[in-house]
Amino acid sequence: MKLVAVTSCPTGIAHTYMAAEALESVARKKGINIKVETQGSIGVENQLTEGDIEDAHVVIIAAGTNISKERFSEKTVLEIPITEAIKDPEGIIEKAINLEPKIKKLNKEAEEINKKEISVSTGPYKHLMTGVSFMLPLVVAGGLIIALSFIFGIDAFQQEGTLAAALMQIGGGAAFTLMVPVLAGYIAYSIAERPGLAPGLIGGMLATVIGAGFLGGIIAGFVAGYTVSYLNKVIKLPKAMEGLKPVLILPLLSTLTVGLLMTYVIGLPLKSIMDGLTSWLQRLSGTNAMLFGGILGSMMAFDMGGPINKAAYTFAIGLGSSNIFQPQAVVMAAGMTPPLGLALATVLFKKKFTKDEIETGKAAWIMGMSFITEGVIPFAVADPLRVVPSIVMGSAVTGALSMMFDVTLRAPHGGVFILPIPNAVGNLGGYLISIIIGTIITALLVGFFKKKAV
């Protein structure tokens, strides 16, 4: 018995490798040979060869982004949300080994299982997360380079010919300008593959020029992708002319459609919405700001890297493209708090954790400091009714305090390792206080709610 798998998550950092490790661990215990290809932020690792795929009983795809399945066209494929591979790897392996391999297309049993999986693993959510995964490096690199320009003074970049001006041009003029087009382009690519890329990129650039922001980019990406997909189905050409579709007909017609819709129909209303949202967030203060931060923070903890977490994170990143940086501070702080809180709880309340959980707590320190919320998953899976409310409350407090202290963050990833960079964080002291208080509250709530370990 041999299985092969592919794991990939939107950020390509935590879930990708945790899912691979979980599947490999269960397979080893069951004496099953498995090879897992990871498609993470640093590219493809442990790549499956044609021989690996040929010899495999079943292919498991555990992904939160769109994965090309062309090379698996002759194999039975079990496609699942990546979070399921982390939470229930044993169940996934059992499903896979019980499927019958069948050449050319999915067997009926595999199709039925795939249909029953969590709906957010496919469709619009997965397309959005594919776009976010390609946009994220631009956000992080651009934000940090802009922050570096501030080392020379907040207004130093205004003086032409200086290093500060060059850094601002690289980070703000190039990286941040590309954010929305790349988001839109790869949403469209996820829906319609290569023919969707050009209209998606162009629609995203129009959204940037018009001022429709990340909302305009998201809409442009979906319009481009579904337009290409529809045109590809309805346009029938003689075989000799079929090659014109992907390089001429589809890009031309879909780009015209998206461009005209963005220019005359969608762009200006979305610009008004973005302007209103930006103005509202800039005016937030006091209780309203804390309430907003608390909601955003609790979303980061609720499903620990799942759809709700990613929705909050995507929202905050999008606002960063409109120079609203407080939400970015909230989501990173609130995402760090759950694993840090559980790590602290394993130190303060050792009798309430097993030896294995205490060892896991040591790793949770590093994952929390690295802004890998998924470090709390082993604890949440073992005792969800007590752990999940605790981390949600702790992260809500963290988010509320971050907004109260008016903390800003220009690079929405990297955890504590980006904090020493001058001007990457606005009000660093307030940020550290928010994270520390949230961590302590999480730990105390976990200690209060959990029963003594058996």
With a cut of 50, say whether residue 104 has pLDDT above it. Answer: no
Q: How far is CA 107 from CA 78, 99, 114, 338, 423, in A?
A: 10, 8, 11, 41, 56
Given the DSSP bridges, would you call strands 77-81 and 43-45 parallel, antiparallel or unpaired? Answer: unpaired
With a cut of 70, say whether residue 57 has pLDDT above it. Answer: yes
**Residue percentage of the chain with pLDDT more than 90:** 36
User: Can you give the pTM of this predicted structure?
Assistant: 0.71
Q: Which fold has domain 2-120?
A: Rossmann fold (3.40.50)
Which of 101-105, 154-158, 185-189, 367-371 has the least mean pLDDT?
A: 101-105
Q: Are 45 and 37 in contact (CB under 8 A)?
A: yes
30 is known as an active-site residue: no
Residues β-bridged to residue 409: 425
**Domain boundaries in the chain?**
2-120, 124-270, 286-449
DSSP 8-state code for residue 101:
P
Average pLDDT, stretch 286-309?
A: 87
What was the pLDDT predicted at 120?
Answer: 42
Pick the catalytic residue from 3, 9, 148, 435: 9
114-118, 224-228, 240-244, range with greatest mean pLDDT: 224-228
Average pLDDT, stretch 59-67?
A: 84
Give the integer Cα–Cα distance in Å for 100 and 98.
7
Give the integer Cα–Cα distance in Å for 81 and 60.
10
Q: What's the chain's average pLDDT? A: 86
Average pLDDT, stretch 339-350?
A: 94
